Structure 1
Amino acid sequence: MISIILQYLLFYPFFHPSFYLSILLSIHLSIHPPFCCSIFHTIYCSVHPSIHPLLYHSVYLSIYLSIYLSIYLSIYLSIYLSIHPSIHPASHPSFYHDIYHSTVSIVLSILPSIILSIHPSVYTSIHPSTILYLNYLMLTIFVLYVCVFTLQEEMDTIPMVSSLLSSLANYSNLPQGSKEHEEAPRMGTLMGVYLPCLQNILGVILFLRMTWMVGIGGVIEAFIIVLMCCSTTMLTAISMSAIATNGVVPAGGAYYMISRSLGPEFGGAVGICFYLGTTFAGAMYILGCIEILLVYIVPQAAVFKMEGLEGAEAEAAMLNNMRVYGTLVLSFMAIVVFVGVKYVNKLALVFLACVICSILAVYAGVIKTAFEPPVFPVCVLGNRTLVWKGFDVCAKVIERENATVTTKLWRLFCDSEFLNATCDSYFTNNNITEIQGIPGMMSGILRGKYSHKMTFYILYIQCIYIYIYIYTYIYIYMQSVFKESLFVLTACICESGILIASLDNVAPILSMFFLMCYMFVNLACAVQTLLRTPNWRPRFKFYHWTLSFLGMSLCLSLMFICSWYYAIVAMGIAGCIYKYIEFRGAEKEWGDGIRGLSLSAARFALMRLEEGPPHTKNWRPQILVLVSMDSELNVEQPRLLSLTNQLKAGKGLTIVGTALEGTYLENHPQGQQAEQSLRKLMEAEKVKGFCQVVISSNMRDATSHLVQAGGLGGLLHNTVLACWPRNWKQAEDHQSWRNFIELVRETTAASKALLVPKNISAFPSNGERFTEGHIDVWWIVHDGGMLMLLPFLLRQHKVWRKCKMRIFTVAQMDDNSIQMKKDLTTFLYHLRIDAAVEVVEMHDSDISAYTYEKTLMMEQRSQILKQINLTKTEREREVQHSPTNPPTPATPQSPSAEAETPGTAVQMTWTEAKCDGEQAKPIGATTPEAIKDLFNMKPNQSNLRRMHTALRLNEVIIKKSQEARLVLLNMPGPPKNRTGDENYMEFMEVLTEGLNRVLLVRGGGREVITIYS
């Protein structure tokens, strides 16, 4: 009951005086038994009471047709003069022809009324039903005549069917700037807004269910329901007024308002739900007109006969009739809309006048019965009233020809017509009495009053028109949204509503979709006001955000009060559409409220992050990814972004940055192209984050700017991800590895962590899977827990999920290896990290000859390049052909002496490089004797110890982790004295050679993982 009145009251979000009319009408209908007759019928009954009631229908129809044609003629002249204001109507060739046809039609329609008023006995010899069907036929012919008469002037311009179908298949809206669009006539507020809304409000629900609702629920309950629904529509209208006065709103209605206020996701979801609701509204009006036709106008036209059927069988037969006739009406209306979309609104005012006349007829009956209450009997069995259906006498038995015979009422309760039949116990134990009925709902307004049949006859035509109007709106709306014809789809959806066949079951579906639309309209206004967006400046004076919030709450409450399972289904559909649009993405940014809400939330969160560094439990890697671009502005290390995606379990910030060399004014287009290239690669690698391009006069400064200025407020990067310089020994100049060392120094100074993947091309892509293997962590120096956290994050990704984690730590001779393993296992248990633990012992050993020679070769090459001032090409040649004496047979050969592949690095305590006296002496000569002295020098003892440590660690790592999928090592810092930078790179190469994938990790100086919850 609630859902039906909701559909009636919520079909359009406008609060009209007709709502007061509906309330007053409901109260009158609950008190007085109105005769649904016209004023003419009432007057004529008093003048000619002996004439059969069907003849009044003929007179009423004649008057109706005369009014209909008069209104049509006046509208035609008004439209004609508005189109051709400078031409007199009489000068048009077809003007007199039109006037002639209209005048003849009016005279012919009034003629039966004139004849009947003069000679009322003329029609007494004609059977009343014949007059009824003749009037139906006359009205049908008249409607067809009006359609042809309307289209007569445009017959020459109507296209052939082939061109019509082609134009419909290739339909496209007019652009905003086109001449046709600019010259399109406007219908105005009254014709284009008020009257169509009024026409939908005064629809089938008003006549079929409003009185039933008042009769079932009572005046007070019905008034409360109407008040709630009217409050919902009134509050929604206020919100829509606020949106409408906040700038120009083009075509699109509620869909446009919601999408521009809450975003394309909400707008698309609610817009499609609104489309579905409007489509089901067409099905509801078809079912309404079929119910009027089969119940009140022509019951004998039912395909599935209901005579003799009761209960579920009669209801099933009625539903089947609704399906058959509904499908036929839908097919006919679809053809009308498909061919004549342009002419659907021609007869809008005429049908609205018919509905208003029918409402006035109801009030005429109310006024008459107020002064002359009807006398009607009520048959009561005990304390239960009986419906006058199936019997004609309110008695169990009657006397006929001195004999007692049973009545039809007897046969309803007994198994036979004889007096000794077995009857229902309640029927046997209670008497039947006939009392005077109280005027009210069952006063006979739905039975036996012919003027009420005329009302339903007019309403039947009104339902057909409203369906054509709705179906046309859907057709045009979907074309404007999707740029293609969805005509067949709309017809199929409408047919699904018709197959439900029950007006009471279709109405809740409409209520859900429309209530959802109104709820989001109110939500849009409330969000815009609470966010206080600068663009939200409505001119509507009576708007307040509390009203929108109240309207949203009412809509949500009514959805669940009406039908909670329908509400859940509707929200589920809208949610699926929302996620689909969010997944596919919108083509345009509309500056909606949800984006404003996100902006406000981001600002609030950033302001809170300014309060201080995050707690250790909340620490997560906020990564700045530094990539380089080639000459074509393509990323040289795409696998670096794959590694970034595999670390996404950290749920932190990701900034992908690159540096371009040059001036900003000259290289701004290249910067935009580089940013676009980064975005495409991030999308391909499914990296969610931001990209940033910095243009500077040199690469060193640009990289420094990225490290310093990346992020915003408290949302700063705390980790830098950069590749190990590739082929740094063979580079034309050494600026690339020098920039890398400076990057290491800057991240250390800024207390940021540094991740350096070595041999990045060997790292897996996001599509690869490791079905087995290990991730080995070599924990030499505690760096805050980064070495523990990173493998855990990697194993959350599908690439590394099947890999197991192993942790190695190095013990000196004076360390207790057993206790170290036990303590490390306990520590990992508290960290909730599942990993195998192994302690590796490194014995002190003498420095081998190979280590001595390796160190000496490194220092010789460094000194030679410093002392000889060569060109870049010569320097590269010198690097490639520097003297490398093979080891003597007495020199022990290291297993990794010949390997030059990238490897993993171990954290070690790195002291400041010392230069011996020979390196400090200025060498001013480049004679062969001076170069010969260089090869006779002894290696620096500090460098010798470092080389020894690097070689020993590399041997241990190769032995344990050569088959590992990934090796993580502590990364030592570079020397403060920049004269030893090249030695630092050489030590790292020695430390990591022989390993396939290495991730060097340098902590930021603070704890990033904790054992506490």
Structure 2
Amino acid sequence: MVDEPTHATARVGRLRRQIAIGKEVTVTTQNAEATASRNQFGTFGGVFTPSILTILGVIMFLRAGFVVGQAGVLGAIFVLIVCKLITFFTSLSIAAVCTNMQVRGGGAYFMISRVLGPEFGGAIGIALYFAQALSVPFYILGFAEAVVVTFPGLQPYFMIITLTTAALLFVVSYVGTSWAIKAQYFIMTLLVLSIIAFLGGGLAMFSTERLAENIASGYTAIPGKAGDYNFWIILAIYFPAVTGILAGVNMSGDLRNPTQSIPNGTFAAIAVGFVIYLIQIVISGGAFERQAMIDQPFEILKDNALFGMGAVVVAGMFAAALSSALGSYLGAPRILQAVARDNILTVIRPFAKGSAQGDEPQRGLVFTGIITAIVLIGVGNDSGGGALNAVAALITMFFLYTYGMVNLAAFIEAVSENPSFRPRFRVFHWTTALLGALGCVGVAFLIDSAAALGAVVVLGLLLWYIKRRDLKATFGDARRGFIYAGARKNLLRLRNMEEDPKNWRPSILVFSGNPAVRESLVSFAVWLEAGRGIVVMCNVLINSFDELGHRRPVALERLEKFCREKNVLAFPSVVVTPDLYNGILTTIQAVSIGPIRPNLIMFGWASSLEGFQKLNNPMRAAQRMGKSLIFMFADKLPEPGGAKTIDVWWRGHKNGELMMILAHLLTRNWEWGRSKIRVLRLINDQSEFKQSNAELEELIDASRVEAEVVIFTADKPFRDVLHEQSGGSDVVFLGFEPPESENESAWHELYVHLLDGMPTTLLVSSMGGADLRA
């Protein structure tokens, strides 16, 4: 059953969709470079310390009092709870995902890519790297601004302060992560002392009367804008105080036991941060006047510190800014190294290499240092930082969307019900992941809708670019399980729904053989399906399974490769059978995707009588099973684009309605978008013209198919009429009925004579099911 070869090899790839430009890339897992001697940090040094230092940041010093003054004690507590719930839900998702896999370097990027795939993971990983890399100069700017505010005489040296600070932090990070961790211990000591100083000072001034005065909200007008502050604006201002949970996660490649340390350290940091912020809200509300908290939130902490330790509070704020910068210096290069090792983008491949001792991402650290220096020099002496406000908001968005993607990854793992999803962390449910994802997106738009939308656009462009590279991942992800679960549920639902002509769709089983020599057959099968149904390509190998079974995987791979290379949207199938008749019948009976079974069986034209005789019995058997038939005589594939003519020869409703629907579906492809459908009818006498024309016009109107009616009489053989009317068309639809065995020779001889010299012709035999008026 080999059709006559055509010269249309390059055309099947243009079936509705085009192959994305770009070479195929294989995404590998962390390579052998990652096996170098690693750091072995524990929970406290590797996760808790960087996380808590990022959580207890400059917001605690500069904005916490302002939030209490505006929202009141109760309102501020509610703001804290809402913000903490989002990060808590995200931490639950982190714990579930990281305890379900062997976590390597890359932190959030590694977890997202292993669940959502390399495209989403790559887009988030690259965005997260730049977010953390750009965070370094921003935290340094915050530190320098605090310095010049505290010591106004240093204002002329603003740029020198920023560049010197950046250089010192770079040296600490480059010397090694262990040195950076030790430096963070010193910074945390200053931070703890400053917290004790300002909380102790506030506690010494605490009174229940003042607490009662500040218990309710007292929103004031927004300077320079119409309207007052409200709950959501205050939440947006306060939310950065509770972020920072990824600071420890990003150290995953340097942990002794990341599966245990990441959840334990993250939850501990969240809990400690919540307690400290809650105590600060209550003490501030009972110690300070509302207006003072609104106008001078930092000054009241410094001026009322315990035992006059205002300098310690200032040092604590400096430490908060420096620790955040150092955390970003440590985290950003590790993300870049992980993305590079997965070969997401060739241009960043050099950053995959780590140092011999500790596998430190020193190349990524140098690149991050260069970015930091460029940003700081670009800002110059702008101590107000106004030029970077928009970029700062965009950075915050990337962090929030990263949290959202972590939640989405955990949600997909849970909902897809993959048997492989067996996290050791049991306190998790898909609802918390969904709430966390929605909360992240909501807060992003509350903080800055323009920046949130801009982040979506940037991430979308990154995702689109990575998808164009036709990545092939060697690691599994949960997307297949998620799609599988959805497909299973829908197929089970579809099974219980009655079929109706209004819902008829083409499910085509095409016996393609080797598609390399039958591309016209495959092309028309896909065109007739037009993205509305299913196409199954089958190659029947004739021999016993014992003799030929070993060739079946090779033949199946050939079909799959053909579909990939030509972008043919079809499902390949290969059957090994002792004889053609039983092979075709078995395939027709067995092929199904749940309740979706083939309703159209498509064969290529058999030019020899012997070839036709092999197909006639299977065709008649297929009809007995209620399957409609398409027997295709292929001349050549039409050139893409341009106006084309599709002729449907109408001889009645039995085959005519299916031919009209297939002709309409053919025009739904871009190659046939400018086609004209003609419905041709040959009548016996001119007196029948008016009635026949009215019937067809009414049918076309009711069917909502754009077509032109052509009715005529002729006193010559039908073959001459067919060639005269349709010889110049691009494709012709004719009805047919498979002959009985005793008439095979005469039938075949008749159609060979009829089709000789014709353009591509589709012979259609309908068994019903398609209603043109539905």
TM-score (norm 1): 0.57
Do residues 588 (structure 1) and 460 (structure 2) align? Answer: no
Mapped to 1, the partners of 2:136 and 2:634 lie a distance apart of 66
In the other structure, the counterpart of 1:771 is 642
Aligned-partner Cα distance in 2 for 1:444–1:190: 32
Q: What does the per-residue CA deviation read over 1:735-790, in whole Å, with 9 as the maximum and x for residues that have no partner?
A: x3222222321332222222222135x123xxx32523422211224335121112
Stretch of structure 1 that moved more, 213-222 or 339-348? 339-348
1:683 to 533, 557, 564: 564
Tell me how large the CA RMSD over aligned residues is.
3.6
Q: Matched residues in 2 for 1:840 and 1:437: separation?
A: 97
Per-residue deviation, residues 437-470 of structure 1 (Å, max 9, x unmatched): 9995446656799953454346436634542331
1:707 is aligned to: 588
Shift in Å at residue 652 of structure 1? 0.5
Cα distance change, pair 177–213 in 1 and its aligned pair in 2 (3 A) = closer
Q: CA deviation at 1:713?
A: 2.4
Cα distance in 1 between the residues matched to 2:328 and 2:643: 63
In structure 2, the partner of 1:175 is 32
Which letter does structure 2 place at the counterpart of 1:800?
A: W
Which 5+ residue runs of structure 1 have no aligned equivalent? 1-171, 304-320, 372-435, 846-951
- CA drift of 1:496 comes to 5.8
Deviations 1:471-521 (A, max 9, x none): 232112211222324647756766569859248656543442333233333
- Cα deviation digits, residues 562-583 of structure 1 (max 9, x gap): 2233333333333444455555
Asked if residue 836 in structure 1 is aligned to residue 708 in structure 2, the reply is yes
Distance 1:200 1:668, change over 3 A: farther
CA shift, 1:703, in A, is: 2.7
1:796 to 644, 668, 684: 668
Partner of 1:599: 484
Could you tell me which residue of structure 2 aligns to residue 1011 of structure 1?
773
Corresponding residue of 2:651:
780
- Paired residue type of 1:829: D
Deviations 1:808-863 (A, max 9, x none): 112124961222112212211221122221123244x8xxxxxxxxxxxxxxxxxx
Q: CA deviation at 1:956?
A: 0.8
Match of 2:731 among 944, 956, 966: 966
Name the residue aligned to 1:193: 47
Shift of 1:971: 2.0
Aligned to 2:504: 619
Q: Distance in 1 between matches of 2:476 and 2:30?
A: 24
Aligned to 1:587, the other structure's residue is in SS state strand
How far 1:694 moved relative to its partner? 0.8
Task: Report what 1:740 is aligned to.
Answer: 615
Q: Given the alignment of the two structures, is residue 356 of structure 1 paired with residue 192 of structure 2, yes or no?
A: yes
SS in 1 for 2:400: helix
1:276-298 superposed Cα distances (whole Å, 9 cap, x missing partner): 43234323311211112221135
Give the SS at the match of 1:242: helix
Matches within 5 A, 1:290-439: 290-297=144-151, 299-302=153-156, 326=162, 330=166, 343-363=179-199, 365-366=201-202
Change (3 A) 1:369 1:974: same
Q: What is the 5 A alignment of 1:923-942?
A: none
Amino acid at match of 2:151: I
Does the alignment pair 1:660 with 2:660? Answer: no
Match of 2:345 in 1: none
Q: Do structure 1's residue 988 and structure 2's residue 774 form an aligned pair?
A: no
Partner deviation per Cα, 1:98-135 (whole Å, 9 max, x = no partner): xxxxxxxxxxxxxxxxxxxxxxxxxxxxxxxxxxxxxx
Residues 673-700 of structure 1: per-residue CA shift (max 9 Å, x gap): 2222212222233221210111122333
The 5 A counterparts of 1:96-115 are none
1:542 aligns with 2:419: no
Structure 1 residue 704, shift from structure 2 partner: 2.7
User: Are 2:508 and 2:529, in contact at CA under 8 Å, matched by a contact in 1?
Assistant: no
> What's the offset of the Cα at 1:597?
2.7
Q: In 2, Cα distance between the equivalents of 1:801 and 1:790?
A: 14
Give the match's secondary structure for 1:647.
Answer: helix
* Residue of structure 2 equivalent to 1:411: none
* C-alpha contact 1:204 1:285 (8 A) present in aligned 2: no
Tell me: CA distance 1:248–1:722, structure 2 relative to 1, closer, same or farther (3 Å).
same
Q: For residues 620-660 of structure 1, give each alpha carbon's deviation from its aligned partner in whole angstroms, at most 9, with x where no partner exists.
A: 2111121123xxxx732122222233334251111111011
In 2, are the aligned partners of 1:655 and 1:689 still within 8 Å (CA)? yes
The residue identity in structure 2 corresponding to 1:225 is V
Distance 1:566 1:437 in 2: 34
Does the C-alpha gap of structure 1 residues 1001 and 285 become closer, same or farther in structure 2, counting only changes over 3 Å?
A: same
Q: Does 1:825 align with 2:710?
A: no
Asked whether the 8 Å contact 1:355–1:462 carries over to 2, the reply is yes
Query: Relative to 1, partners in 2 of residues 1:829 and 1:288: Cα closer, same or farther, differing over 3 Å?
Result: same
Distance of 1:438 and 1:671 partners within structure 2:
79
The whole-number CA distance in structure 2 between the counterparts of 1:664 and 1:492 is 64
Deviation at 1:185, TM superposition (A): 4.9
Write the deviation string for residues 11-31 of structure 1: whole angstroms up to 9, x where unpaired.
xxxxxxxxxxxxxxxxxxxxx
Quote the residue 1:610 is aligned against. 495
How much does 1:365 deviate? Answer: 4.1
1:995-1006 counterparts in 2 under 5 A?
Answer: 995-1003=758-766, 1005-1006=767-768
* 2:518 matches 1:637: yes
- Contact 1:776–1:806 (CA under 8 A) maintained in structure 2: yes
Q: Distance in 1 between matches of 2:700 and 2:71?
A: 70
Q: Distance in 2 between matches of 1:779 and 1:556?
A: 57
Instruction: Give 1:452's aligned residue.
Output: 310
Q: 1:299 to 1:253 in 2, by over 3 A?
A: same
Which of 114, 119, 123 does residue 260 from structure 1 map onto?
114
Write the deviation string for residues 32-74 of structure 1: whole angstroms up to 9, x where unpaired. Answer: xxxxxxxxxxxxxxxxxxxxxxxxxxxxxxxxxxxxxxxxxxx
Question: % of aligned pairs identical?
Answer: 27
Q: Could you tell me how far 1:335 is from its partner in structure 2?
A: 7.0
Closer, same or farther: CA 690–326 of 1 in aligned 2, 3 Å: farther
**Alpha-carbon distance, 1:604 to partner:** 2.1
Deviates more, 1:515-524 or 1:790-799: 515-524
What SS class does the counterpart of residue 425 from structure 2 fall into? coil
1:280–1:509 CA contact under 8 A, matched in 2:
no
| Separation in structure 2 between the aligned mates of residue 249 and residue 209 of structure 1, nearest angstrom | 36
Q: 1:779-928 residue pairs with structure 2 within 5 A?
A: 779-784=650-655, 785-813=657-685, 816-843=688-715
Kept in 1, the 8 Å contact 2:659–2:764? The answer is yes
Relative to structure 1, the CA distance from residue 343 to residue 605 in structure 2 (aligned partners, 3 Å threshold; closer, same or farther) is: same
Q: In structure 1, the residue corresponding to 2:671 is in which secondary structure?
A: coil
Letter in 2 for 1:616: P
Corresponding residue SS for 1:783 = helix
Q: 1:1002 is matched by which residue type in structure 2?
A: S
Structure number with greater Rg is 1
Shift of 1:233: 1.8
Task: Specify which of 939, 956, 961 is matched with residue 721 of structure 2.
Answer: 956
Whether 1:567 aligns to 2:480 is: no
Offset, 1:989: 0.7
* Alignment check: 8 A CA contact 1:297 1:453 kept: no
DSSP 3-state at the match of 1:974: coil
SS in 2 for 1:679: helix
How many residue pairs end up in the alignment?
A: 633
Cα offset, 1:980, TM superposition:
2.9
Q: Tell me the equivalent position of 1:501.
A: 385
| Whole-angstrom CA distance in 2 between matches of 1:824 and 1:370 | 91
Richer in helix (by share) = 2
- Inter-CA distance 628–531: structure 2 relative to 1 (3 Å threshold): closer
1:187 counterpart SS class = coil
Residue type of the alignment partner of 1:501 = G
Tell me, in whole angstroms, the C-alpha distance in 1 between the residues paired with 2:289 and 2:83.
Answer: 33
Match of 2:441 among 551, 556, 568: 556
The answer as to whether partners of 1:204 and 1:459 remain within 8 angstroms in 2 is yes
Aligned to 2:632: 757
